[in-house]
Amino acid sequence: MVTQIKISRTKHSRISEIDFKNLQFGSQFSDHMFAMEYIDGQWQNHRIEPFGLIEVHPVSASLHYGQTIFEGMKAYRGVDGKIRLFRPDMNHKRLTDSCIRMCIPPVELETFLSAIEELVRVDHQWVPPYEGQALYVRPVLFADEGSLDVRPANRYRFLIITSPVRGYFGAGSPAVALKAEEKYTRAIQGGTGSAKVGGNYAATFLASCQGRDEGFAQILWLDGVEHRYIEEVGQMNICFVLDGKLVTPPLRGTILPGVTRDSVIQLTHDMGIECEERMIDINEVIDGIKNQTLQEAFGCGTAVVVNAVGSIGYRGQQYVIGNGEIGPLSQKLYKLILGIQRGEVEDTHNWTREVAIS
């Protein structure tokens, strides 16, 4: 049985300040947030309260030792006006796996779903009405104990914040340019690459900033041993269409098990297209671009849904994929997934979960 959630509503809503036709990504936040604490061996004090600053102990293990994880998901307003979550059970599984990897007490599925649904209900007017937009939902768990001892904490905090967002790359989401990174490493086997750990992202900032200075949207990460095998992109998994097959790197502990990635694989199977999850050599991709056996490439993730890759930079050369624009499969998958999320396409896999608004 889920513990009752106490709700304290804000006296001054900020929704009138939001221009839904000109949203950014992750810079504006809804009126309320969910919070609870792990104290004396249990999660307690489940509540929704006005969004605002929080106090954190200055020697928390989250600040000093990086004991923090998070998730990313969205609530969508459908063409029928209903609000839906997309595969939240997978987000919970990934959150649980991240908790285990980082020695953080997991949150039960019922508590996780109830907290998100109640928060979305309270702030349902913040769910954007336009196609390509959504209410981004960010759960985060972090250590909250005052100790410099190098060990897992005994106290934790769990927050959920929401933010009305546009698509990650902006209006139209054109095909992006990626830089294959050979110097820096995102993750290695046995590390935390498959968990949504804050440090994984901080470790990518230097290469990402250098790549942007060179004109690339994001980094195409290679394996941490040989810098040869493709793994993932900064904020998304990566897929290629090679000789008519969908090919994507396997889940071997170094990349994030993306919810959208899993959906893309299933929908590709539904279309009768063969899909291979296997190691992909960067030279195989470059050769495929040169001889045109690589027809298209795209990234997939919660923030972008599906976004085409127009070119890859490798060892000082720029390799354009096809005509450098969005390919037919990436376009079809984008419209199909978005259609399921917005209630325009039949949800044959029962992926969506409606949030009832009274």
pLDDT tens sequence across 291-306? 999 999 999 999 889 9
User: Is it the case that residue 208 has pLDDT exceeding 80?
Assistant: yes
- Same domain, residue pair 60 and 128: yes
pLDDT tens sequence across 52-108? 999 999 999 999 999 999 999 999 999 999 999 999 999 999 999 999 999 999 999
List the CATH number of the domain containing 108.
Answer: 3.30.470.10
- Same domain, residue pair 31 and 151: yes
Q: What is the Cα–Cα distance from 237 to 17, expressed in whole angstroms? A: 34
**Predicted local confidence at residue 170, as pLDDT:** 53
Expressed as residue numbers, the domain containing 119 is: 6-165
Please report which residue ranges of the chain form alpha helices under DSSP H: 61-64, 88-101, 109-122, 198-202, 205-213, 259-270, 282-291, 328-341
- Same domain, residue pair 137 and 284: no
User: Is it the case that residue 348 has pLDDT exceeding 90?
Assistant: yes
**Predicted local confidence at residue 157, as pLDDT:** 98
**161 CB-near residues (< 8 Å, 6+ apart):** 29, 30, 33, 51, 137, 138, 140
pLDDT tens sequence across 310-328? 999 999 999 999 899 899 9
**137 CB-near residues (< 8 Å, 6+ apart):** 71, 72, 73, 74, 75, 85, 116, 119, 120, 160, 161, 162
In contact, 111 and 2? CB cutoff 8 Å: yes
Greatest CA separation for the chain:
62
- Same domain, residue pair 180 and 213: yes
- Same domain, residue pair 274 and 199: yes
Positive or negative, the CA dihedral 79, 85, 90, 94 is positive
**Predicted local confidence at residue 265, as pLDDT:** 98
pTM of the model: 0.94
Q: What mean pLDDT is reported for the chain?
A: 94
**Predicted local confidence at residue 22, as pLDDT:** 87
The answer as to whether 346 is a domain residue is no
CA dihedral 214, 171, 127, 259 (to 10 degrees): -60
Q: Kind of pairing, strands 73-77 and 68-70?
A: unpaired
Q: Which of 165, 197, 223 is the last residue of a domain?
A: 165
Q: What is the Cα–Cα distance from 97 to 118, expressed in whole angstroms? A: 24
**Predicted local confidence at residue 144, as pLDDT:** 95
174 to 24, 121, 169, 221, 278: CA distances (angstroms): 16, 33, 8, 21, 27
For residues 106-120, average pLDDT: 98
The answer as to whether 80 is a domain residue is yes
Q: Closest Cα partner for 356 from 172, 71, 120?
A: 120
- At residue 243, the 3 state secondary structure works out as coil
Q: How confident is the model at residue 169 (pLDDT cuts 50, 70, 90)?
A: low
The total number of structural domains that make up the chain: 2
- Same domain, residue pair 19 and 64: yes
User: Is it the case that residue 2 has pLDDT exceeding 90?
Assistant: no
In contact, 338 and 268? CB cutoff 8 Å: no
Tokens read off for 275: 């899909």
The answer as to whether 86 is a domain residue is yes
pLDDT tens sequence across 124-155? 999 999 888 999 999 999 999 999 999 999 99
- Same domain, residue pair 207 and 320: yes
